[in-house]
Chain A
């Protein structure tokens, strides 16, 4: 009896999905698809998917991080910066997002500032 109860509790816990979890899983599907196509070099499609993911779940830090990378690859540096900053706002302790942002800033600072431009 106890064993049945324990098993039942585990499955209930695993399958219980509040509304936010639904949104997150839909967004996650978009993120996964985006990663898949980005790995094949289809960056515009990837950007579209990651944008969709953040529309579905605006609290999904990983989607903002991936979108930032997509914009960076496309040379849209201001948008990339905005997305990295949003990702870090949502998940300030994520070392991988921090590392991506540092690398991005290194390129951006090297090419656009720090020089006495006229």
Chain B
């Protein structure tokens, strides 16, 4: 064998050894990551162990007249609590909270003349968040809520405000469109178009009241919106439920422990 031929053979051998080593290391190491499903337990935000019953009393609602947001919210929350919490749900008439708040806002006593200090009159029709804000003082009236609590054997009381308003927006949006290229192949390409869209905004605020004392324990506010193509005619009630679907898990997590499913990547 000549010298160049021997050198070629030896370099081939070295390469083969390298390849074998790399292969052996790959086999030994295997995959470097593993996807694994996990369930994250989330503790309730509120300690409700002192309560056996819950009373979804009613909501001060406003916005569109196409949906009775007070009635629909009470019905939805009661049915969710029945199946997804340990608390017994009290089935009672929904409280007309707008009337209650307006009654409470009237000046007390007959001797209250024009000079007497009276709170600002509440708007009869709630159109926006500013109108709704003026009703907030109802939830701070501990005497009223304590009385309601006594009526229903000191439950946890759920109340608050719900604003469900129509909404529209026009502007450039990116959407996907299927096109056929010169070779007859179907392709999906993003295109920017001007679009008029309409939909709804849902802004509920949940207030949790201790029925034993009438005091507020906790409150949380949410805001969700949805927009459809203006040509699409989606009923207001469908939109309301679509938006509430996004909010209900958060509402339930205030009262009962939840498990949130997901996947994570374990690494070697």
Residues of chain A having any CB pair with chain B under 8 Å: 2-3, 6-7, 10, 14, 28, 31-32, 35, 38-39, 61-62, 65-66, 69, 72-75, 77, 94, 96-97, 99-100, 103-104, 107, 110-112, 115-118
Shortest CB–CB separation between residue A47 and chain B, in angstroms? 12
A-B CB contact pairs (8 Å), 15 listed: A2-B10, A6-B14, A7-B13, A28-B268, A32-B268, A39-B36, A65-B266, A69-B266, A72-B264, A73-B38, A75-B41, A107-B42, A111-B258, A116-B221, A118-B219
Task: Please state if B268 and A72 are interface contacts (CB–CB under 8 Å).
Answer: no
Task: Please state if A10 and B268 are interface contacts (CB–CB under 8 Å).
Answer: no
Q: Which residue of B lies closest to A75 (CB)?
A: B41
Task: Please state if B218 and A117 are interface contacts (CB–CB under 8 Å).
Answer: yes
Contacts of A10 in B (CB 8 A): 14, 17-18, 21
6 closest A-B pairs by CB: A3-B10, A62-B267, A6-B14, A75-B41, A115-B220, A96-B265
Contacts of B86 in A (CB 8 A): none
Task: Please state if A2 and B265 are interface contacts (CB–CB under 8 Å).
Answer: no
Complex alpha-carbon distance, A30 and B253, angstroms: 36
Task: Please state if A97 and B267 are interface contacts (CB–CB under 8 Å).
Answer: yes
At the interface, is chain B mostly helix, strand, loop or mixed?
A: strand
Contacts of A100 in B (CB 8 A): 264-265
Given the known interface contacts A72-B40, A75-B41, the answer about A35 and B218 at a Cβ–Cβ threshold of 8 Å is no
Task: Please state if B42 and A75 are interface contacts (CB–CB under 8 Å).
Answer: yes
Q: Which residue of A lies closest to B263 (CB)?
A: A103
Annotate B242-268 by CB proximity to A: 1 below 8 A, 0 otherwise: 000000001001000010101011111
Contacts of A107 in B (CB 8 A): 40, 42, 260, 262
Annotate B220-235 by CB proximity to A: 1 below 8 A, 0 otherwise: 1110000000000000
Task: Please state if B21 and A117 are interface contacts (CB–CB under 8 Å).
Answer: no
How many chain B residues touch A (Cβ–Cβ < 8 Å)?
Answer: 36
Shortest CB–CB separation between residue B34 and chain A, in angstroms? 6
Task: Please state if B268 and A3 are interface contacts (CB–CB under 8 Å).
Answer: no
Task: Please state if A3 and B262 are interface contacts (CB–CB under 8 Å).
Answer: no
Shortest CB–CB separation between residue A57 and chain B, in angstroms? 13
